Structure 1
């Protein structure tokens, strides 16, 4: 890691950039709507994918977990290719915006197809169909999501703008999580027709299709309201080998990627299996539509209320505080009787309020990308955000594959669970993410770029003298 002297900052008190967001509210909201769209077609509905596979289609929990894990690892690898190609895109629409425009509709189609099962009664065919549809959906999601994430680094220059953008992104994404949490199962039941069960294939298919249509519209709003204003200092086409060298020598970027994995696992891993906790451990199946939104709603509030403190104490320090709150709340939840819903609700809300750690890591990516350009003269927005997107996919993969863990503990769908299975569900939902959160805190201590340093780096890049000199020496 680099100290302030190493990155050429003689007096941090002279740094004045980033005190106020300068990006128009319409651009910040329009950008945030893109994450709402992502939640509707992928993140939010993925919270119900395991339940769809196990309880509607009839695939075993272990196989469902492997399908989710494998697909997310595959599209995580694909992210790097998308990042490399998108940052080299040259078009009248920009580098990243056209990927959103042209990828939105295919993503909506495959998001709907993921929640179909055209081979009733044939488990082998159902597994193959799940592998193909969810696998392709994940790949198309990468085509849209990686350029979308990279937009935050080229739409805003100041640390304050970047925190504001990503807080808006997280806030609207949280609204999407709340919406999917509250209405998904009721919609599945309503669209199920005469199936006679609240969890049916038909219900999931119609619900996913409705969300897909809304998401495609929101993606186009994001495209229309976004502008790419931050341009690379080097205007020539940078060799891919040189880009990789810039990435692999960017220590802060790799730390942010690790924090994204750990913070994502700590917060999101429980979302993929918490429905099992409420249904089987707490015996509160009728209250699931009200209980599942607790964390997303609290995270939305926490992001809007607490993210602003990043300007005072720094993004890293606020991240550490947020993770500490999560660890304490989750550890307490592990030891609380799940039937004591009052205490469970309070601790869940406390955990959710600390969800502001997620947008903090997003905004740290742009700072790390600036640092990489400052150090090497090469700007690698696409691959930088692809690296962190891979980290996010790994976090979601662990979360989605958590159903594999409860399968190992003996979970069986639609039956009374054994004490071992219930203890396993409790461990996976609460104690496991608490352990990951503790590791995240220790990792964050190694991140050294302050907000003042990030602002000064951006100022120096705007003058062009440092990076241009480095590029000239290489050329």
Structure 2
């Protein structure tokens, strides 16, 4: 199997950079934007995050099925980047537009725009994620591509953290509602260009035969076979819990810096530290873990990360430099492990496809993104409800002690507990990597009996 060129890896990475120009803005600023700029209550925001994410998540499965049965002159998954990147960039800006409506009208607009953006994210990101198995069949190359991918994802986030808040002030002329919208118009343009470059610089070399005659009803049979795989179930749950923790860590940063440190001037700096740590962490994955079992390395990274997060809770607000260093360490460690986690999905795809004799990449990655969106929904709702319970008042210069305590818990202790639970979820995960040309097999085949898959799916 030939190795991919650096140009191809950069091209693949640009796709997640493009996604994260928009998506990191949502992760970092959306909750704060809705409560303090747009004017939604924390309670309504929490309900909306939960409802929209769960509704949208079901769309993921359909797109995964559709992508698995797509065949064009441009490939199987790449065309989706060409078709839907521009609409995704446009909706990214419209979601941060504040219409001059009443409370009900603004709530409806938020639901519609946020849902549309999430659907378009699915249309570009499910095929993008699934594309990796068509780019290379080499396990080490896939880990390397995931490292490039998440490095560029962090780079996209760095662009957001460095220029977003200054742009909102500069472009808005003192009006933050206008500032957020105009800033996102620029972000949408950058995102679209990066997606087009990803399309141009990649090539799907390994495409399984596609049966375009398959009807959507087939997806239920395919989902049944996925759900019968214990390792797939574990990774699905892992993504739900991991993203619940992730949305608390990232979405809570604005509140933590503004209302616990009382240093809103440091928001851009701390967000840059977070995303810079993610960038370098992703690039160090191979160097740190190449000699270790991937599963062991992942569990070790999660344990260390959780321990540091517990410690952060007890650091007094005046120790700003210490807090910045700790936050950087947390996100560096987390990002070294992220490519490992995503490479496990490729193992599952190889295992299932070797039995079924057909493409499962789109469906596996779409159900993975389904899990991610459920996790984001739970995390966003949990954050909104905890802020409400704590007595948080949006855009208030001072907050009650209970609100400040909730903000600290949201940013440190609660995600730390969730991260520790990931280790328990991965108990008895039994898919072994065997570097014999990209083949994978379970330690105990009886636990994942897919011997009948090929016959039933045809």
Decide: shared fold, TM above 0.5. Answer: yes
CA-to-aligned-CA distance 1:236-294 (integer Å, 9 cap, x gap)? 85644542343223222222222222333333421112101100001111111101222
Corresponding residue number in structure 2 for 1:166: 146
Q: What SS does the corresponding residue of 1:450 show, helix, strand or coil?
A: strand
* Aligned residue pair count: 444
Moved more, 211-220 or 352-361: 352-361
**Counterparts of 1:7-46 in structure 2 under 5 Å?**
22-46=3-27
Q: CA deviation at 1:357?
A: 2.1
Q: Find the aligned partners of 1:138 and 1:125 in 2 and give their Cα distance.
A: 20
Corresponding residue number in structure 2 for 1:224: 200
Q: CA deviation at 1:455?
A: 4.9
Q: Tell me if the contact between 1:263 and 1:357 (Cα under 8 Å) persists in the aligned partners.
A: no
**Counterparts of 1:427-466 in structure 2 under 5 Å?**
427-452=409-434, 455-457=437-439
**Counterparts of 1:252-401 in structure 2 under 5 Å?**
252-355=231-334, 356-401=336-381
Q: What SS does the corresponding residue of 2:249 show, helix, strand or coil?
A: coil
Q: Do residues 55 (structure 1) and 41 (structure 2) align?
A: no
Q: Find the aligned partners of 2:252 and 2:59 in 1 and give their Cα distance.
A: 26
Moved more, 206-215 or 338-347: 338-347
The equivalent position to 2:191 in structure 1, one of 215, 220, 225, is 215
Q: Find the aligned partners of 2:264 and 2:24 in 1 and give their Cα distance.
A: 22
Corresponding residue number in structure 2 for 1:103: 84
- CA distance change for structure 1 residues 230 and 218 in 2, over 3 Å: closer, same or farther? same
The equivalent position to 2:116 in structure 1, one of 112, 130, 136, is 136
Q: Tell me if the contact between 2:13 and 2:145 (Cα under 8 Å) persists in the aligned partners.
A: yes
Moved more, 335-344 or 419-428: 335-344
Corresponding residue number in structure 1 for 2:155: 175
CA-to-aligned-CA distance 1:375-408 (integer Å, 9 cap, x gap)? 3334311110001111121232234332332222
Corresponding residue number in structure 2 for 1:462: none
Moved more, 57-66 or 300-309: 300-309
Corresponding residue number in structure 1 for 2:46: 65
Q: Find the aligned partners of 1:443 and 1:308 in 2 and give their Cα distance.
A: 26
TM-score for both structures, normalised by structure 1:
0.88
Q: CA deviation at 1:204?
A: 0.3
Q: Find the aligned partners of 2:293 and 2:36 in 1 and give their Cα distance.
A: 45
Q: Tell me if the contact between 1:112 and 1:205 (Cα under 8 Å) persists in the aligned partners.
A: yes
- CA distance change for structure 1 residues 338 and 444 in 2, over 3 Å: closer, same or farther? farther
- CA distance change for structure 1 residues 470 and 368 in 2, over 3 Å: closer, same or farther? closer
- CA distance change for structure 1 residues 471 and 449 in 2, over 3 Å: closer, same or farther? closer
Q: Find the aligned partners of 1:156 and 1:150 in 2 and give their Cα distance.
A: 12
Corresponding residue number in structure 2 for 1:464: none
Q: Tell me if the contact between 1:159 and 1:454 (Cα under 8 Å) persists in the aligned partners.
A: no
Q: CA deviation at 1:66?
A: 2.0
TM-score for both structures, normalised by structure 2:
0.91
Q: CA deviation at 1:190?
A: 0.8
The equivalent position to 1:125 in structure 2, one of 105, 120, 143, is 105
Q: Find the aligned partners of 2:411 and 2:160 in 1 and give their Cα distance.
A: 19
CA-to-aligned-CA distance 1:150-174 (integer Å, 9 cap, x gap)? 0112111111111011111100101
Q: Find the aligned partners of 2:126 and 2:436 in 1 and give their Cα distance.
A: 23
Unaligned ranges ≥5, structure 1: 1-16, 460-466
Q: Tell me if the contact between 1:54 and 1:61 (Cα under 8 Å) persists in the aligned partners.
A: yes
